[in-house]
Amino acid sequence: MSIGPHRDRSRGEYLFPDYWVHRYDEAYRTPVAVYRLDEKLVWSLIYEETYFRAWMIGGDAEVGLMQVTPLVAREWAKETGFKEFEKQAAENVNAFLADPERNIQAGCWYLEKLREPYRGRPAETAMTLAAYNAGPSRVEEWTKDMDATTLAEADFVSRIAIASTQNYVKSILARYRAQQSVPK
């Protein structure tokens, strides 16, 4: 028997699960504070996106822990004003996003950017997650014939017309709510 973080595929879990799900806690504490996000929401999103596997590359070229797209990485790098970030993102965006701290910084920036138009709405978190997964134009499409400023979270989630996005949002919200009841 070898020692180390191995996945027990028969049970669907990792040995040393706390290591896997908490090894990037320090990496996201500063970005969540800078972008005024709830760290338990970011933790729940990373859990859903990659189960904390920084090397993951998605089917649409999303990279890293938060599955950030190359376009978002370049936008974030430009907005930071750091020329070195812009240069790195332009030269090799996958390597740039493979750095867990950089990936989390860009992902948190994007999550906050998406959240801004929904701030204060009852479905703010669900709308933000749906926009992160399917794009803000889809959120607008799913709420176009109603007053989205008063739409309840459950009502919004039921209007998500893409099953995978609806499941994504439900999964993260459930995990997030469970995490909110866990003391720090």
Q: Could you give the domains of the chain?
A: 25-119 (1.10.530.10), 120-178 (no CATH)
Q: Chain-centre distance of CA 156, in angstroms?
A: 19
Tokens 């990496």 locate to 27
Main-chain dihedrals φ then ψ at residue 8, nearest 5 degrees: -90, 95
Q: How far is CA 70 from CA 26, 50, 63, in A?
A: 24, 17, 8
C-alpha span between 167 and 147 (Å, rounded):
23
Each residue's pLDDT tens digit in the chain (184 positions)?
Answer: 333 344 444 444 555 566 566 767 778 889 999 999 999 999 999 999 999 899 999 999 999 999 999 999 999 999 988 899 999 999 999 999 999 999 999 999 999 999 999 999 999 999 999 999 999 999 999 999 999 999 999 999 999 999 999 999 999 999 999 999 887 6
**Among the listed residues 29, 66, 62, the one whose alpha carbon sits nearest the alpha carbon of residue 51:** 66
User: What is the structure's pLDDT at 114?
Assistant: 98
pTM of the model: 0.86
Please tell me the predicted confidence (pLDDT) of residue 4: 37
* Side chain identity, residue 20: W
Specify the 3-state DSSP secondary structure of 90. Answer: helix
Residue 18: per-residue pLDDT: 64
| Neighbour count for residue 27 (Cβ, 10 Å) | 18
The partner residues of 87 in beta bridges, in order of sequence, read none
3-state secondary structure of 8: strand
The per-residue pLDDT for 182 is 81
